[in-house]
Amino acid sequence: MRRYSAKNNLQTLTELNITPLLDLAFVLLIIFMITTPLIENSLDLVVPKSSTAKGLVNPAEVFTIAVDKNNILKLNTEILTPEMLESRLAAMRVENPDISVVVRPHEDLAIQRFISVMDILQRVGIAKVGVMTRRDDNEAVP
């Protein structure tokens, strides 16, 4: 005859099995490692067409804001302070609401100075803004 003890053999599970969680994390990591390079190199930008689009911008109507590395601002060829530039751009926008501006920063210009010029354009409400760059001769042309 076998005796049974009064002790209960049921125990609570005190540890969580994280093996399936780690398996899932590694699978997701591998998926992202495989797909990320494909996403970066597969950018084929095709500009949409519109039947109501306006023609090209007239280069005579485009104003250039040049910013050199010493934070000297020039509107076309005239040297201005940031406050004068903002008031001049606001007046020009009142005359022509469809004004276009190209910002030509120096390559050694601090990014914060460039952003301050872009903030001026934002405050004035000029939406047609471009940034002038030049081609890097060290890179191969495709």
In a domain, 115, yes or no: yes
In a domain, 123, yes or no: yes
In a domain, 25, yes or no: no
- Map the chain to HEC letters: CCCCCCCCCCCCCCCCCCHHHHHHHHHHHHHHHHHHHHHHHCCCCCCCCCCCCCCCCCHHHEEEEEECCCCCEEECCEEECHHHHHHHHHHHHHHCCCCEEEEEECCCCCHHHHHHHHHHHHHHCCCEEEECCCCCCCCCCC
In a domain, 9, yes or no: no
Range of the domain at 112: 59-131
In a domain, 139, yes or no: no
Of residues 5 and 17, more confidence is placed in 17
Reported as a single tens digit per residue, the pLDDT across 22-71 is 999 999 999 988 887 766 554 444 445 556 555 565 666 788 888 888 88
Reported as a single tens digit per residue, the pLDDT across 59-116 is 667 888 888 888 888 888 888 898 999 999 999 889 888 888 988 888 887 888 888 9
In a domain, 21, yes or no: no
In a domain, 54, yes or no: no
In a domain, 46, yes or no: no
Q: What CATH number is given to the structural domain containing 66?
A: 3.30.420.270
- On whether the pTM is more than 0.85, the answer is no
Q: What total of structural domains would you count in the chain?
A: 1
- 10 has a pLDDT exceeding 80: no
